Amino acid sequence: MIIVMNGKTDDADVEKVIHKLYEMGHKVHISRGERRIILGVIGDVENLASVPFYAFNGVEEIIRIVKPYKLASREFKDFDTIIKVKDVIIGGKEVIVMAGPCVIENEKQIFETARYVKASGAKILRGGAFKPRTSPYSFQGLGEEGLKLLAQAGEETGLAVVTEVMSVNQIELVGKYTDIFQVGARNMQNFVLLKELGKTKKPILLKRGLSATIEELLLSAEYILSQGNYEVILCERGIRTFENYTRNTLDLSAVPVLKRLSHLPIIVDPSHATGRWRLVSPMAKAAIAVGADGLLIEVHPDPRSSLSDGAQTLRLDTFTQLMKELSPIAQAVGRELGTSAENDLERMKN
> In the range 316-335, which residues lie near a copy of itself by CB under 8 A?
325, 328-329, 331-333
Of 10, 25, 29, 317, which one interacts with a copy of itself (CB under 8 A)?
Answer: 29
175 sits near a copy of itself (criterion: CB under 8 A): no
Assess contact for 235 and 296: CB atoms under 8 A: yes
Q: Choose between 130 and 160: whose C-beta lies nearer to a copy of itself.
A: 130
Per CB under 8 A, the segment of 29-37, 89-97, 115-123, 150-158 that binds a copy of itself is: 29-37
Interactions with a copy of itself, residue window 40-59 (CB under 8 A): 40, 42-43, 46, 49-56
38 sits near a copy of itself (criterion: CB under 8 A): yes
Interactions with a copy of itself, residue window 145-174 (CB under 8 A): 166-170
69: nearest Cα among 188, 256, 232, 216: 216
313 sits near a copy of itself (criterion: CB under 8 A): yes
**Least distance to a copy of itself from the beta carbon of 196, Å?**
9
User: Coil, strand or helix: which one is 301?
Assistant: coil
Q: Between helices 254-261 and 214-225, what is the axis angle to 10°?
A: 50
Q: Choose between 37 and 88: whose C-beta lies nearer to a copy of itself.
A: 37
In whole angstroms, give the CA distance from residue 262 to residue 63: 21
199 sits near a copy of itself (criterion: CB under 8 A): no
79 sits near a copy of itself (criterion: CB under 8 A): no
Q: Choose between 305 and 340: whose C-beta lies nearer to a copy of itself.
A: 305
Q: Choose between 72 and 149: whose C-beta lies nearer to a copy of itself.
A: 72
301-309 contact pairs (CB < 8 A, 24+): 301/109, 301/112, 301/113, 301/116, 303/277, 306/101, 306/102, 306/103, 306/105, 307/103, 307/105, 307/139, 308/102, 308/103, 308/128, 308/131, 308/133, 308/138, 308/139, 309/102, 309/103, 309/271, 309/272
243-247 contact pairs (CB < 8 A, 24+): 246/273, 246/274, 246/275, 246/276, 246/279, 247/272, 247/273, 247/274, 247/275, 247/276, 247/312
In whole angstroms, give the CA distance from residue 316 to residue 303: 9
Q: Choose between 157 and 220: whose C-beta lies nearer to a copy of itself.
A: 220
Per CB under 8 A, the segment of 85-93, 120-128, 175-183, 249-257 that binds a copy of itself is: 249-257
In whole angstroms, give the CA distance from residue 127 to residue 272: 14
**Least distance to a copy of itself from the beta carbon of 166, Å?**
5
92 sits near a copy of itself (criterion: CB under 8 A): no
Neighbours of 190 (CB within 10 A): 19
Going by DSSP bridges, is the β-strand pair 124-126/160-164 parallel, antiparallel, or unpaired? parallel
Give residues with Cβ within 8 angstroms of 224, minimum separation 6.
194, 195, 197, 198, 204, 206, 232
Q: Choose between 11 and 49: whose C-beta lies nearer to a copy of itself.
A: 49
Of 18, 173, 289, 348, which one interacts with a copy of itself (CB under 8 A)?
Answer: 289
Interactions with a copy of itself, residue window 211-240 (CB under 8 A): 211, 213-216, 219, 222-223, 226, 239-240
User: What does R_g of the chain's alpha carbons equal in angstroms?
Assistant: 23
**Least distance to a copy of itself from the beta carbon of 204, Å?**
14
**Least distance to a copy of itself from the beta carbon of 148, Å?**
20
Q: Choose between 44 and 155: whose C-beta lies nearer to a copy of itself.
A: 44
21 sits near a copy of itself (criterion: CB under 8 A): no
190 sits near a copy of itself (criterion: CB under 8 A): yes
Burial (Cβ within 10 Å: 0-12, 13-18, ≥19) of residue 92: middle
**Least distance to a copy of itself from the beta carbon of 84, Å?**
25
283 sits near a copy of itself (criterion: CB under 8 A): yes
Site string for a copy of itself, 112-131 (x = CB under 8 A): --------------------
